[in-house]
Structure 1
């Protein structure tokens, strides 16, 4: 329950949101949007809140490195107090416009109100010690551990990436993760075109430039592109540049029947619909009816609702409910660990471990096995994820091809000839390649 006297305090809300995120009670972006819509914070405090939440999550392991010598038993601290310390150290070491005295005063005040005077004294003592010590460089004997702490990426992720893509590429990738994510949108060609939309956004003081990955993408340089009335009018939709490459890989014809097996929230579904004419149709599946309503709302906003039929169905059971060989194209944008989104959702790196890859891999295999009989001979199946690990990408595809001899690998078509993206037989984008989300795309053709 919120403390009324702190309702207008961005540091209090930052500590609460970080606590909720690290306890697995919601993603940072969702909880932030929820808080900003409910609390009457000044614009400057809204900006500070967002900065504190994302900054603290991005640098959590580094912050803990500095706090660890001063907290004998962190498990005995109330979670909110521990996260209050984290956001305070983040301010001390990473923000240069906030006076130390303001950081100490606010942290002490919050600790007293949410716990007791003793908690306030403890917080003050720890922060004073850190102030006296100053920010020292991270120093560890092992280079991988050094990289882990310095860039706040768990050691197991560093080790796995190093084994799969090499030490040099791992360093480059990790170095890029704590940079602010770009705001990318996909232009809705049903209602406008890229130059016209750019001009309209410019009149709202929103500066954009064309994407280097997709001819229907714009990247915002400044201005609130996700808050513009043009978004609500359906002139564009929020979508990362790398995600815009998935729909073209299906090589959709205007009359194709398409199965989108894991469709929510509908970004790729609506992009596929933009290629269709009245005879074409998409069946969009999701396990949860609430998510299907989100797809339907997005489709209406973009004006492509007539091409999309939603159905509440677990994609692992699709072959039990849908007719065999009835689709020209199938998209499996599979549930995955999401490690390609570490820049946009920094908490992913702490909330999932190597065991999650194994359990998700089984889900991915089951979905592919279920939808395979539904594809017509000569049809294409695209498998995509927003992760960067081979266990959920290359290994899944190779396993599927071993057990389904009627499928072969096909070239992954992109609208533009982006050869740098093709790593072997697939498209694999790492977060450092174009400062986008990490993504994997494979195309399979049913030959018999």
Structure 2
């Protein structure tokens, strides 16, 4: 019996779960890799196919359409064809013959000889005829949507906010590979110490240009290192590392992290010597906060509990915390590079409901802030409806708060900086992020 590379079959399984059932790519891929252990080379191949196919899904689908002639195929067959096209067009070191052979064998195993014949016929036709070029599309917005695999509604929204040129830069940026980044657990460890520890484990790093406590790794499984297990660092995006410093936390401060899981910002806040109360609505996510706190040796400074942040005032009472962070639930559109499936699973209607939730959380935590205390509102998105508009509406309802400028690190390039900070993925190669700081009048 002919054998095919299990990495390709695994990628089809994961992608079908993501695109048909709404699974998260990272979780589905991790689970599949645990169930079907692969060699390190094949793990890289499977991961590349999954994330590369997701990044270019609309482009690949548009290129495939003429070869199917309107024929409806099962979702896994459609996925198998798209992954084959991705490998044939994007992976220079993967020979077409290997892609054709494995795709045909996978079709035989998962389906029948008739499907295998269909797969072979389509891919051979692609080889003979070649693929269409998205640059031939006359409408500029549609050309960008298909060419960079960004749904048309997102192209239209970003263009209305940022203009066509900036939207094109964002679209290109989110189709690059995400960089493995980490935050050093200072002051327990120094940046230089962690660099040396990782170097000893064969992982080279460079200093982050976004955060002074960040490092960018050239590769490697960071969570499997001895340095990670020792609590020397946590895995966190560079943009996210800017949130905690905005609160200017001092030793002895009482801090509320209202939407805390999995605890990256919570532990960053605690690293300044503050006592942090961390909330999440789900008990299993509270356990994640506690596990991260324990690994980073910060359990004595962090109290995590399951609570809907919209109940904060009723639960804690008035003027309880002098620093509050609301890293609000949001559309996550700033994470398009790291979580490419978001662009297909999120809809405009979903996002329209979020500002009400975000505003309700801000309203609930406002009474818990002491006079003279600070409230930071942050999201990992790029839409004013979830960011500046939410803050503006909150300030109208709560005139006791005043917005102040977010300090901009000197090395940082940002899309907007007055008074809030707005990063988009093309600014520094990190996640899109929004940070606003509000001070309660005394």
Q: TM-score, normalised by structure 2?
A: 0.96
Classify 1:46/1:89 alpha carbon distance in 2 versus 1 (closer, same or farther; 3 Å).
same
Is 1:354 equivalent to 2:348 in the alignment? yes
Structure 2 counterparts to residues 396-415 of structure 1, below 5 A: 396-414=390-408
- Match of 1:90? 86
- Structure 1 contact 319–374 (Cα < 8 Å) conserved: yes
Distance 2:4 2:341 in 1: 24
Task: State which of 122, 130, 144 in structure 1 corresponds to 2:141.
Answer: 144
Query: Against the structure 1 CA distance between its residues 293 and 69, is the aligned structure 2 distance closer, same or farther, given a 3 Å change threshold?
Result: same
Distance across 2 between alignment mates of 1:99 and 1:215: 42
Matched, 1:313 2:307: yes
**C-alpha contact 2:330 2:381 (8 A) present in aligned 1:** yes
CA gap 1:108/1:289 in 2 versus in 1, 3 angstroms: same
Distance of aligned partners of 1:359 and 1:145 in 2 relative to their CA distance in 1, 3 Å threshold = same
- Report which stretch shifted further, 191-200 or 341-350: 191-200
Alignment match, 1:11:
8
**Cα distance in structure 1, aligned partners of 2:214 and 2:279:** 25
Deviates more, 1:288-297 or 1:28-37: 28-37
Residue 353 of structure 2: SS of its match in structure 1? Answer: helix
Match of 1:274 in 2: 271
Match of 2:164 among 162, 167, 179: 167
Shift of residue 7, structure 1, vs aligned partner: 9.7
TM alignment of 1:50-65, pairs within 5 A: 50-65=47-62
SS in 1 for 2:218: strand
| 8 Å Cα contact 2:311-2:364 kept in structure 1 | yes
Which digits, 9 at most, give the CA deviation of each residue in 1:94-149, with x for residues without a partner? 11222222211111111122122221111111111111111332121101110111
Alpha-carbon distance in structure 1 between the residues aligned to 2:232 and 2:316: 33
2:76 is matched with which residue? Answer: 80
For residue 211 of structure 2, what is the aligned residue in structure 1? 214
Q: Alignment partner of 1:436: what SS?
A: coil
Instruction: Give yes or no for contact 2:405–2:418 (8 Å, CA) kept in 1.
Output: no
Instruction: Look up the match of 2:131.
Output: 135
Give the counterpart of 1:233 among 230, 249, 252: 230
In 1: Cα distance, 2:361 partner to 2:414 partner: 29
The answer to whether the 8 A contact 2:408-2:417 is kept is no
Distance 1:313 1:260 in 2: 11
| 1:148-184: CA deviation from partner (whole Å, max 9, x where unpaired) | 1111011111111111011111111111111111111
Question: Residues 10-409 of structure 1 correspond to what in structure 2 (within 5 A)?
Answer: 10-73=7-70, 76-138=72-134, 139-276=136-273, 280-409=274-403
Q: Distance in 2 between matches of 1:121 and 1:338?
A: 41
- Hey, what's the Cα distance between the residues in 1 that align with 2:3 and 2:9? 7
RMSD: 1.7
Would you say the 8 A contact 1:190–1:303 is kept in 2? Answer: no
SS at match of 1:26: coil
8 Å contact from structure 1 (residues 21, 347) kept in 2: yes
**Whole-angstrom CA distance in 1 between matches of 2:253 and 2:96:** 62
Equivalent-residue separation in structure 1 for 2:18 and 2:160 (angstroms): 29
Structure 2: tracts of 5 or more residues without a match: none
In 2, Cα distance between the equivalents of 1:359 and 1:78? 33
**Matched pairs, number:** 440
The question of whether the paired residues in 2 share the 8 Å contact of 1:21 and 1:28 is answered with yes
Mapped partners of 2:188, 2:265: distance in 1: 17
How far apart are residue 413 of structure 1 and its match? 3.1
Separation (CA, whole Å) in 2 of partners of 1:192 and 1:251? 20
Query: Is structure 2 residue 427 aligned with structure 1 residue 433?
Result: yes
Q: In 2, distance between residues paired with 1:388 and 1:215? A: 24
Distance across 1 between alignment mates of 2:203 and 2:437 = 36
Aligned counterparts of 1:209 and 1:383: Cα–Cα separation in 2: 29
Structure 1 gap segments, 5+ residues each: none
> TM-score, with normalisation over the residues of structure 1?
0.95
